[in-house]
Amino acid sequence: MKRLVVLGSTGSVGRQVLDVVRQNPDNFTILGLSNGNNSKLLSKQIQEFSPKYVNTLGDLDEKSSNVTSVELNKLVTLPDVDLIVHAMSGSHGLMPVLIALEHGKDIALANKEPIV
């Protein structure tokens, strides 16, 4: 069972990653989710996938109170993480990639910004 952190979980690619997880529940579990401001969709994802950790720029509703909010840079260094799926857009996703690599984490990049 691979334990995943999905950065950009409410975006197009992040939602597709969660579709794969949904179709393969014996192979993947969600340890953490990160998003920008789509709090409504993130709350639904939290209800469905029950991650332990979350990072968001928005506000979470009461139904999501059972999850621990962490800084993005901490989310990518959690010891239990097997794979970080980087589905964030823009250059602001560079630092989490660098920090994750410094901690020996495996990363699946969904865009080229962190490389360029």
Task: For the chain, list the domains and their CATH numbers.
Answer: 1-68+106-116 (3.40.50.720)
Give pLDDT, residue 113. 61
Give pLDDT, residue 114. 62
The whole-model pTM stands at 0.91
Give pLDDT, residue 116. 56
Please list the ranges in the chain whose pLDDT falls under 70: 62-64, 112-116
Give pLDDT, residue 63. 67
Expressed in percent and rounded to 5, the helix, strand and coil fractions of the chain are 35, 25, 40
- What residues contact 52, with CB distance under 8 A and at least 6 apart? 31, 32, 67, 68
Give pLDDT, residue 66. 82
Q: Report how far Cα 76 is from the mean position of its chain's Cα atoms.
A: 8
Give pLDDT, residue 79. 94
